[in-house]
Amino acid sequence: MSNPESSSPESELFALSEDHRAVREAVREIAVKEILPFAAECDEQERYPVEAEKALSASGFNAVHVPEEFGGAGADAVATVIVIEEVARVCASSSLIPAVNKLGSMPIILSGSAELKAKVLPSVAAGEATISYALSEREAGSDAAAMRTRAVADGDDWVLNGTKCWITNAGVSAWYTVMAVTDPDKKANGISAFVVHEDDPGFVVGTKERKLGIKGSPTREIHFENCRIPGDRIIGEPGTGFKTALATLDHTRPTIGAQAVGIAQGALDVSVDYVKQRKQFGKHLAEFQALQFMIADMAMSIEAARTLVYQAAAATERGDANKGFLASAAKCLASDTAMKVTVDAVQLLGGAGYTRDFPVERMMRDAKITQIYEGTNQVQRLVMARSLLR
């Protein structure tokens, strides 16, 4: 990315606070100076962005959402999505560090005991550990309630058996929030949430998936082979895990929307820079009206998605009644926007866009997952429709 400055002005409609603007400025500087230089390399080598983790942890942007009492910045939901957006603008894989830290820790923040919060959150806030989220299984993707991983009480402990898949940053994270069945007769109401540590006996990390995009962020299966954890590592009461999982997604789907907006903005920035410099038929590409219209449509869609993401984040912060609808709408609109904008960016750059000499092909590959994880966009539309028709 040759142009570190955004080609799109910040929307004033949402009226961000001065603190929010300061967060954006600080994160953007770190992203451009310390994350962008390694983005292509992390993608090419499919390696974890250790430079990004170091930079984000040193600046406190690795988990800004963690409450101050546990060593975090206590940032609100809007500040959190701004952090993720600005990192995703230069490297989608790196943006999953703050995004997944929020996803993995929100169940604890929402429903965990004071003791469990004190055990886990300080290490995440300090950057000493990251935390992943384990809900999906091979045979229970969108139908998460059909999971088979079991947790059985044994004295003062819990013993887990089963396999979780598509676990972002597995093998890097020290902590894992895991959903498991504790009472199969109660279906969704028989699912409980637990916190597992990488050192727990019987916890095994599987092989890394070979993916289309976000290659710098490892995705693996995790296995529980008579994995024994202390009894106080349950999150909330037995049987409340699925409700906690759904409540968590209301808070974290806007973060995926933010990631998508960041990817799209990065692609637009590169596109604007390119068409202003590249000449064809004796004119800069930026002088051709057809391409001007493409650029305008890209920017318009990004601004709409960004505003909805911020609105959804603010709604979860306030606990609005429509927060679930807005979270799904933001994730869905932003990810669809990111996919279209990045495809258009490749088209605008022509043959150059199809090569790895420019970042737009990586952005296009990275954008695709935002339409899939934390609920496919088909599921998001079901959630929205049910909310409207309830």
Could you tell me where the DSSP H helices lie in the chain? 18-30, 36-45, 50-59, 77-88, 92-111, 114-125, 241-277, 289-318, 323-349, 360-369, 377-389
Beta bridge mates, 222: 164, 205
DSSP notation for 116-179: HHHHHHHHHHTTS--EEEE--BTTBSS-GGG---EEEEETTEEEEEEEEEEEETTTT-SEEEEE
In the residue annotation, 374 being an active-site residue is answered as yes
Q: What span, in angstroms and rounded, lies between the C-alpha atoms of 46 and 215?
A: 5
Q: Integer distance in angstroms from the first to the last C-alpha of the chain? A: 46
Cα 59 from chain centroid? 19
| Residue that the structure tokens 């953007």 belong to | 28
Phi and psi of 220, rounded to 5°? -140, 165
Instruction: Give the chain's radius of gyration (CA, Å).
Output: 21
Q: What span, in angstroms and rounded, lies between the C-alpha atoms of 113 and 384?
A: 31
DSSP 8-class letter at 197: E
CB 146 within 8 A of CB 136: no
How buried is residue 141: exposed, middle or buried, by Cβ count under 10 Å (0-12/13-18/19+)? middle
Which one from 34, 53, 85, 374 is the annotated catalytic residue?
Answer: 374
| Residue that the structure tokens 């895991």 belong to | 178
Cα 280 from chain centroid? 39
Beta bridge mates, 35: none
Catalytic residues: 374
